[in-house]
């Protein structure tokens, strides 16, 4: 960039694609790495943390950045794919500087950092933090009403101190559009203290979705730092099978205490799942498939399938059962596949188009048996039925994959190489 290049606020860089000179996408920006300097000098931007396709995070030095414009970053094409490891002298701009409480040098008033601007130095490839966008007033719900202003880096103090009780609103705003799996990746790379602060700022549903995508150690750590009442609320918002998997990792006393705090109907589903062996159909299944009575119509079924919170695997078929239509249901009659719903008139009764030829699985069916069933019949979900013929739940292909992959597969995706260092 030439001298006089425009100032760039880092919140606008979050998630932007990174391309090589040939136009091939390398990954997406997840953070910036800065080094604080003495004497009030603006921090130097060392590089970008870029998430590549495998979710590995690599370090891209600013010396390799040839352009930051038009919602994209262009590199020289020489990218070191070694895993990024933060050094003690470095700060993550999005992860550690936003939402901090700092003081204005003039007057000593406390302000909250909402954003940070960077600019390239004239005739050089070096970048540094140029301005700080802050809001006056105390933290908390009323903070948004305070006056906002943009100041020089030298006009504030307090970035070098450890932050206690740091908020997370500005950081979350930069990642608002991320999918749960990608936001989970962001949380995984934060410090434990910052991870707890961000988790605390997420609403229950969003945190539940993110927890389902985190490695077990992170799940347990985050849940353990929540107040027990809130932890129970988050567990209620999780899919029952994921909640059961998480609770199964806790000591029996903690497990029972949280189950007692949950709503009775939610706790009952989770308790039922905990009663099955882990690697069986009962231990793998969700208790919330789409269940319809025989007198429901195709239109009713399509309305249920369209629910936004359903996973694609669960939305691929509906299960027809006699009342009651909550699991465990009345007698299981069969399955209607999504494609069949699209072929029949809306007024058609689902009982007239059920596929009753495919046998359901018993809850004690082993993981290999479930896998073979899905593969043999090209299914993405399979019904689980007890000895009396009642539908207990359904096992989806994504649940099976979770258990077929190594126990640390999420961790392997997050940490794909043991090598560290800075490419230049």
Q: What is the pLDDT of residues 77-96, one digit of tens each?
A: 778 888 888 887 788 999 98
Which is more confident, 5 or 274? 274
- Give the residue-averaged pLDDT of 10-37: 91
Confidence of residue 415 (pLDDT cuts 50, 70, 90): very low
Which is more confident, 72 or 3? 72
Q: Tell me: the pLDDT tens digits for 6-19?
A: 789 999 999 999 99
Q: Tell me: the pLDDT tens digits for 359-389?
A: 999 999 999 999 999 999 999 999 999 999 9
* For residue 175, pLDDT beyond 80: no
In the block, tokens 């970008």 appear at 48
For residue 159, the model assigns a pLDDT of: 84
For residue 4, the model assigns a pLDDT of: 54
Q: Tell me: the pLDDT tens digits for 52-67?
A: 987 889 999 888 888 8
Which is more confident, 298 or 278? 298
Please choose, from the candidates 27, 198, 170, the residue with its C-alpha nearest in 3D space to the C-alpha of residue 93: 170
Q: Tell me: the pLDDT tens digits for 129-147?
A: 989 999 997 655 444 567 9
Strand 72-75 and strand 127-136: the pairing is unpaired
Quick check: 117 and 2 in contact, CB under 8 A?
Answer: no
Q: Tell me: the pLDDT tens digits for 307-354?
A: 887 889 999 999 999 999 999 999 999 999 999 999 999 999 999 999
Other C-beta atoms closer than 10 Å to the C-beta of 258 total 22
- Give the residue-averaged pLDDT of 9-35: 92
The structure's pTM equals 0.66
For residue 92, the model assigns a pLDDT of: 92
Residue 164: is it exposed, middle or buried by C-beta count within 10 angstroms (0-12/13-18/19+)?
A: exposed
- Give the residue-averaged pLDDT of 386-414: 80
For residue 1, the model assigns a pLDDT of: 41
For residue 201, the model assigns a pLDDT of: 85
* For residue 114, pLDDT beyond 50: yes
For residue 142, the model assigns a pLDDT of: 43
Averaging pLDDT over each range in 169-178, 267-276, 414-423, which range is the top one? 267-276
Express as a percent the part of the chain with pLDDT over 70: 90
For residue 165, the model assigns a pLDDT of: 66
Confidence of residue 417 (pLDDT cuts 50, 70, 90): very low
Mean pLDDT (the chain) is: 87
Q: Kindly report which listed range (2-6, 130-134, 297-301, 413-417) carries the lowest average pLDDT score.
A: 413-417
Confidence of residue 123 (pLDDT cuts 50, 70, 90): low
Averaging pLDDT over each range in 214-218, 295-299, 357-361, 412-416, which range is the top one? 295-299
Which is more confident, 5 or 403? 403
Which is more confident, 189 or 176? 189
- Give the residue-averaged pLDDT of 272-286: 93
Please choose, from the candidates 189, 185, 183, 224, the residue with its C-alpha nearest in 3D space to the C-alpha of residue 203: 183
Quick check: 333 and 321 in contact, CB under 8 A?
Answer: yes
* For residue 248, pLDDT beyond 90: yes
Buried b (16+ CB within 10 A) or exposed e, 267-292: bebbbbbbebeeebbbbbbbbbbbbb
Quick check: 287 and 240 in contact, CB under 8 A?
Answer: yes
For residue 162, the model assigns a pLDDT of: 61
* For residue 424, pLDDT beyond 80: no
* For residue 110, pLDDT beyond 50: yes
Confidence of residue 299 (pLDDT cuts 50, 70, 90): very high
Averaging pLDDT over each range in 119-128, 150-159, 335-344, which range is the top one? 335-344
SS (H, E, C) the chain: CCCCCCCEEHHHCCCCEEECCCCCEEEEEEEEEEECCCCCCCCEEEEEEEECCCCCEEEEEHHHEEEEECCEEEECCCCCCCECCCCCCEEEHHHHHCCCEEEECCCCCEEEEEEEEEEECCCCCCEEEEEEEEEECCCCHHHHHCCEEEEEHHHEECCCCCCCCCCCHHHHHHCCCCCHHHHHHHHHCCCHHHHHHHHHHCCHHHHHHHHCCCCHHHHHHHHHHCCHHHHHHHHHHCCHHHHHHHHCCCCHHHHHHHHHHCCHHHHHHHHHHHCCCCCEHHHHCECCCCEECCCCEHHHHHHHHCCCCCCCCHHHEEEEECCCCCCCCCEEEEEEEHHHHHHCCCCCEHHHCCECCCCCECCCCEHHHHHHHHHHCCCCEEEEECCCCEEEEEEEHHHHHHHHCCCCHHHHHHCCCCCCCCCC
């Amino acid at each position: 960039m030439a001298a006089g290049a425009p100032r760039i606020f880092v919140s606008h860089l979050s998630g932007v694609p990174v391309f090589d000179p040939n136009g091939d996408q390398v990954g997406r920006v997840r953070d910036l790495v800065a080094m604080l300097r003495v004497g009030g000098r603006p921090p130097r931007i060392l590089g970008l943390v870029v998430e590549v396709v495998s979710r590995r995070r690599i370090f891209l030095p600013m010396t390799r950045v040839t352009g930051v414009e038009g919602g994209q970053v262009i590199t020289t094409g020489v990218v070191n794919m070694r895993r990024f490891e933060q050094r003690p002298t470095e700060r993550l701009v999005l992860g550690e500087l936003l939402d901090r409480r700092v003081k204005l040098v003039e007057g000593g008033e406390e302000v909250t950092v909402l954003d940070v601007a960077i600019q390239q130095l004239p005739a050089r490839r070096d970048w540094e933090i140029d301005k700080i966008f802050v809001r006056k007033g105390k933290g908390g719900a009323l903070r948004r009403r305070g006056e906002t202003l943009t100041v020089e880096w030298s006009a504030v103090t307090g970035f070098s101190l450890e932050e206690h009780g740091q908020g997370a609103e500005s950081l979350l705003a930069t990642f608002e559009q991320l999918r749960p799996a990608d936001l989970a990746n962001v949380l995984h790379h934060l410090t434990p203290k910052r991870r707890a602060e961000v988790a605390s700022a997420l609403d229950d549903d969003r945190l539940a979705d993110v927890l389902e995508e985190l490695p077990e150690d992170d799940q347990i750590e985050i849940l353990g730092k929540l107040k027990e009442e809130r932890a129970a609320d988050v567990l209620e918002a999780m899919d029952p099978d994921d909640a059961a998997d998480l609770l199964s990792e806790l000591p029996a006393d903690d497990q029972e205490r949280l189950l007692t705090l949950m709503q009775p109907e939610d706790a009952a589903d989770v308790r039922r799942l905990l009663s099955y062996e882990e690697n069986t159909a009962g231990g793998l299944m969700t208790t919330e498939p789409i269940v319809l009575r025989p007198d429901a119509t195709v239109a009713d079924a399509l309305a249920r399938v369209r629910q936004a919170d359903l996973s694609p695997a669960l939305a691929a078929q509906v299960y027809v059962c006699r009342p009651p239509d909550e699991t465990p249901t009345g007698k299981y009659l069969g399955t209607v596949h999504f494609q069949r719903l699209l072929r029949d008139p809306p007024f058609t009764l689902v009982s007239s188009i059920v596929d009753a030829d495919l046998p359901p699985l018993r809850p004690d069916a082993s993981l290999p048996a479930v896998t073979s069933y899905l593969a043999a019949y090209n299914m993405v979900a399979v019904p689980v039925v007890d000895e009396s013929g009642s539908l207990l739940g359904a096992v989806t292909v994504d649940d099976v994959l979770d258990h077929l992959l190594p126990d640390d597969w999420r961790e392997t995706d997050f940490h794909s190489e043991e090598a560290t260092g800075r490419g230049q």
